[in-house]
A and B are shown apart, each in its own frame.
Chain A
Amino acid sequence: MDAIVTDGIARSFDGLVAVDGVSIAVGEGELFGLLGPNGAGKTTLINMLSTMSRPTTGTARVCGFDVVREAAAVRKAIGVVFQGTTLDDRLTGRENLDLHGRLYGMAKKLRRERITEVLRLVELSDKADLLVKTYSGGMMRRLEIARGLMHHPKVLFLDEPTLGLDPQTRFHIWEYICSLNREEGVTMMLTTHYMEEADTLCDRIAIIDHGRITALGGSEQLKSALGGDIITLRLASSGDGKRLLRLYEESPYVSSAKITDSTVYLTVERSDEVIPLVFQTALGSGISIQSVTVRKPTLDDVFVHHTGRGIRDEFANEFTRVRYKLQTSKR
């Protein structure tokens, strides 16, 4: 049985569609990633799956339970590590874990054993009796992950688990997530807008944009689906981009071409033979190229390929801007 199954799940806020008919299935024990820019609908999707908000249409089942009609059973079966801290910083790490165990109805002996266990897993045993407000950002994240696992959930949701952490801490958190996925056999669904994170951690990745899944598969599978090498051309002026793009799209040696601002991305079979042709085409129509790079495809390219823009063009995203306005006006 799949751990998470969604069927056309959607959610809109005041007419704005945040998640637009997502149908996915996540297998047991899988480490599944939702990759997309801010405002793509990742958090909304996780909120629906974790029963924090109701879908507008569509259904979803987590561990076999319907997220609306059997919300209580879903809650018992899942753990959630939210974006941003949800710890009580006036309590110690151990107390936070203990209260969590009590809320999930764990007996005293089991609680005590499990606290020792999860603290060891995230290497916080020696800091357990310090107040959380003395913890660093990375320690707080680790404690939240430990707490999310405390009650032996079958599915753990992690919403941007490394947001705002420095690269070294991020790398450590990745190690914990990986080893916990393996040692505890927990199905994990994490959202991220870091390419490297999805690439390093996830068995399968769903690329989500404007509330829709635009691509789904393993990292290597997604990359190789692009076929061949990626040539990135930076143009001297962005005005020529569209014209050049059309020329490349008509060329037989280019399998696909995309453009963002003044950068053109070409997917080609054999870059060593194609590069001279690429230059000829550009020079022939009087367009000057500032720089060129050739490489194997990355997840970034996969993202650009499926959405037509880079994941870092966050504020170009209309939905994010509107939602941001809505959020700030509510405050």
Chain B
Amino acid sequence: MSAMRAFQTVYTMWLREMLRFKRAKSRIVGSLATPLFFLIILGTAIGSSYNIESYREFMAPGIIAMVILFSSIFGGVSILWDREFGFLKEILIAPVSRFFVALGKAFGGVTTAMIQGILLMIIAGSVGVEYQSLIGVLASIPIMFVIGVGFISLGIALASRIESHEGFQMVMSFLTMPLVLLSGAFFPLSQLPQWLKTAVYLNPLTYGVEALRWALYGEPEIPITVCMIVLLLFATITTAIGSWLFGRTKV
């Protein structure tokens, strides 16, 4: 297949996600409410109760990473709905490469996730959360992208394997919450007991949180180069697995 057709396929799938996103605006803005409550209420309360200076600022990158995670895994797993409502057949019968279909789906979902992440960052900033610099704010955008690609591909891989959407609930409760809680989104890493530390360092999201923290807050506990290497590796591996499994999926 020519590069032109490949691009067209990716763009078509991306366009579909954008058209759907356009109509789901209120739902998506609404989904930012919970993380904002966490950040504003819990962040302020914990910061003042335990006398931690700028805890909200510390927590903000973690909350943004959480939103990216939820939104991108959900975007990938939405293939289950495409299967349930039949649209998957329309895609799979088309004379296009499944690899580029998966890629387009991923880019669409990542764009959605990034819009949500950026919106959250702006809203949090406007209600008093301070970021270290404008350059940092801009640098956080490509970081969100890499986090998003990694987790949406994980979602696509899972959706290609699980065949019912009952499985979706399992994914959401047994995967996403542990990933968030074990990521250092809410606490520093240095004082953790060893078993917890090991789990946290094995979690790819940790490196996403740390990278965003480097950009928005400063003082990361893991060097930014390490974070980026891990994130890029994670994204590459999940994309490979995700598109391979999607290529073998049956209707």
A104/B92 contact (C-beta < 8 A), A85-B86, A86-B87 known: no
Per DSSP, are chain B's interface residues mostly helix, strand or loop, or mixed?
A: helix
- Among residues 78 to 107 in chain B, which have CB atoms less than 8 Å away from a CB atom of chain A? 85-96
B93 lies within 8 A of A52 (CB): yes
Separation in Å of the A82 CB from the closest CB of chain B? 5
The interface on chain A, measured as residues whose beta carbon lies within 8 A of the other chain's beta carbons, has a size of 27
- The chain B residue with its CB closest to the CB of A86 is B86
Per a CB cutoff under 8 Å, which of A80, A104, A331 touches B164? A331
CA distance A100 to B19 in the complex (A): 14
A91/B20 contact (C-beta < 8 A), A86-B86, A103-B9, A105-B5 known: yes
B89 lies within 8 A of A75 (CB): no
Q: Is A330 an interface residue (CB 8 A)?
A: yes
Per DSSP, are chain A's interface residues mostly helix, strand or loop, or mixed?
A: loop
Separation in Å of the A63 CB from the closest CB of chain B? 13
B8 lies within 8 A of A105 (CB): yes
A91 lies within 8 A of B15 (CB): no
Give the total number of A-B pairs whose CB atoms are below 8 A apart.
65
Per a CB cutoff under 8 Å, which of A52, A75, A86, A91 touches B16? A91
What B residues does A90 contact at CB under 8 A?
A: 19-20, 23-24
B89 lies within 8 A of A82 (CB): yes
B87 lies within 8 A of A102 (CB): no
What A residues does B16 contact at CB under 8 A?
A: 88, 91, 99
A99 lies within 8 A of B15 (CB): yes
A-B contact pairs, 25 of them (CB 8 A): A51-B93, A52-B93, A72-B95, A82-B86, A85-B85, A86-B86, A86-B89, A86-B90, A87-B86, A87-B87, A87-B90, A90-B20, A90-B23, A90-B24, A91-B19, A95-B19, A99-B12, A100-B94, A102-B11, A102-B12, A103-B12, A103-B94, A103-B95, A147-B90, A331-B163
Interface residues in chain B, defined as those with a beta carbon under 8 Å from any beta carbon in chain A: 5, 8-9, 11-12, 15-16, 19-20, 23-24, 85-96, 163-164, 251
Interface residues in chain A, defined as those with a beta carbon under 8 Å from any beta carbon in chain B: 50-52, 72, 75-76, 80, 82, 84-91, 95, 99-100, 102-105, 131, 147, 330-331
Q: Which 5 pairs of residues, A with B, have the shortest CB-CB distance?
A: A86-B86, A75-B95, A103-B94, A102-B12, A76-B95
